[in-house]
A and B are shown apart, each in its own frame.
Chain A
């Protein structure tokens, strides 16, 4: 069973292979994404993050989930030598960490309900579990940064997360936090495979902000693999990436 909805301005796609799944499960997972959107959207005036940015409440006064995100963001900032930072121009935008966290928690809803074979995809960031409808590992394509209709790599995944950071289609949207006016131009796409989507997403975002050095950062991160594409279409990938690649 597979359903998709547009939430947080992006398609959220769920597929559960286990035959006993019902529409109620899908509703529950989509409702969770809607909850996250209401709380963390910087585009919504009434969201909790907007209240913090208008200084109507402090982080200490905010909800448990909001405080968790600030803590995880700070931890990530330290682990990435400052290349991940939710503070920009005096405001907080935690979207770089909220999405992976939300996908992780959404997948946890499915796992705790007893499902084994599923994926959760929000805007191209993915958590997969178990096998696909053919009883094989999930086949995941990496979209071309130059042509959204094209796939440039296919990997097979089981029980892990995969996230792509990039500048494509709508242009630049990741900035170097150490120089907030400086957009990243050395690379156009960086895909990271990690133990789960929360980990893959936060390190993809941070490594992308490092420019062409980001792939070295991923290489040195145990349990992570990466595939980086530069503006000329040259890909650089980590030493363990090959074992995920589908050649068929």
Chain B
């Protein structure tokens, strides 16, 4: 019977590569930050200059509402994303998310830089929708209970074959 072994591979060459990648990402991020700062200052002047982190979502340009969400541009609150504050802005068109942008992104703390330098997060969002049940198997949260014998998950799977 085999057992899962822990493995850790690291090397000098990889560290060098990491360093250059980190440097590139940090420079790119700074450039992006200044670009965003100047462009948002231009548009913020019309809004009055209140500071960015807010505790509730703000909204601009609400349009007709069809679908799950109202049309417009929505700014989320600055939330603590485990290694720093993250704030996103979402654009809804036709009731669906058409764009998500990061307004704030952690780059101040040491651990943040370490994490950021690996990959710039580029998360995407959507409203969940029911899909065709033509699947081989289903992943879901574990229901640890004796009554699980009657689980709908098992029922769903048996319904297929």
Contact = CB atoms under 8 A, between A and B. Distances in A.
A168 interface: yes
B135 A139 contact: yes
Nearest to B111: A81
Given A68-B3, A105-B4, A237-B124, A141 B133 contact: yes
A216 B83 contact: yes
B3 A105 contact: yes
Interface in B117-154: 118-119, 121-146, 148-149, 151-154
Contact of B81 (A65, A167, A216): A216
Contacts, number: 195
B34 interface: no
Contact of A105 (B1, B115, B161): B1
Contact of A148 (B118, B136, B153): B153
A222 B125 contact: no
B47 interface: no
B23 interface: no
A145 B130 CA distance: 11
Given A216-B123, A237-B123, A10 B133 contact: no
A124 B3 contact: no
Interface in A185-219: 189, 191, 198, 210-217, 219
A153 B144 contact: no
Contacts of B146: 9
B6 interface: yes
Contact of A210 (B82, B125, B148, B161): B82
A238 B143 CA distance: 26
B130 A151 contact: yes
B68 to A, nearest CB: 8
A67 B6 CA distance: 13
Contacts of B126: 234-235, 237
Nearest to B80: A213
Interface residues of A, number: 81
Contact of A168 (B3, B140, B149): B140
A121 interface: yes
Contacts of A71: 6
A164 interface: yes
Contacts of B127: 233-235
Contacts of B136: 15, 119, 132, 138-140
A14 to B, nearest CB: 11
Nearest to B86: A216
A213 B139 CA distance: 21
A34 B139 CA distance: 21
Contact of A216 (B3, B82, B144): B82
A229 interface: yes
A236 B123 contact: yes
A173 B143 CA distance: 9
Given A6-B148, A108-B2, A220 B121 contact: yes
20 contacts: A65-B3, A71-B6, A81-B82, A105-B1, A123-B144, A128-B137, A141-B137, A142-B139, A143-B140, A144-B128, A149-B152, A151-B130, A151-B133, A152-B131, A154-B132, A165-B141, A189-B141, A198-B4, A222-B119, A234-B125
